[in-house]
Each structure stands twice: as C-alpha cells, then as structure tokens.
C-alpha cells in the first residue's frame, strides 16, 4: 500500500468513527480529496444548514482525522 493509499484509508477510518454522530442528527460527510495534507470534505444532509457545522468540522472531524493521520494540517468543507 502506498503512503497516499494509507492516508486515504486512515482518513476514511476517522470519518467512519464520526459518521454515526452526524447521522444521528440527520447529516453525513463525504471525502472529496486529500491534497498537500489538506482534506476536503462535503458535509451533507442536515449538516449543510447547521449553525454549528464549522465547530463540528474543526473540533470533531478535524481532530478525529488528525488522530488517525497526524500529518493532516487542515480539513475544509466544500459546499
């Protein structure tokens, strides 16, 4: 497995850990890409209009992804 494949696998593991919490509120998350240690995701469902989605993205999603893939510098939501 290449370094890039390992990174994608680790980010997906992190998203799978977070996904049940998002789904319990009517939302979801989709991995779009990983470029230069920046993860681009798309918040879906109820998460798109949620007033605290940026807090969820930074404190929940980004923190969990960094636990699995410490080399990740930032997570960005692409609407």
Whether 68 and 13 have beta carbons less than 8 Å apart is answered as yes
Quick one: which of 75, 56, 57 has its CA closest to 11? 75
For the entire predicted model, the pTM comes to 0.90
Whether 38 and 74 have beta carbons less than 8 Å apart is answered as yes
| Residues 6 or more apart in contact with residue 70 via CB below 8 angstroms | none
- Is residue 13 predicted with pLDDT exceeding 90? yes
Q: What are phi and psi of 71, to 5 degrees?
A: -75, -15
Q: Which tens digits make up the pLDDT trace of 30-79?
A: 999 999 999 999 999 988 888 888 888 888 999 999 999 999 999 999 98
Looking only at the bridges linking them, the beta strands covering 27-35 and 74-77 are unpaired
């Amino acid at each position: 497995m290449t370094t890039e494949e390992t990174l994608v696998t680790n980010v997906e593991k992190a998203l799978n850990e977070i996904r049940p919490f998002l789904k319990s509120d009517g939302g979801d998350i989709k991995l779009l890409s990983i470029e230069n240690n920046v993860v681009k995701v798309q918040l879906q469902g109820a998460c798109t209009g949620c007033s605290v989605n940026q807090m969820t993205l930074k404190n929940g999603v980004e923190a969990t992804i960094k636990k699995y893939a410490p080399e990740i510098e930032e997570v960005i939501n692409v609407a």
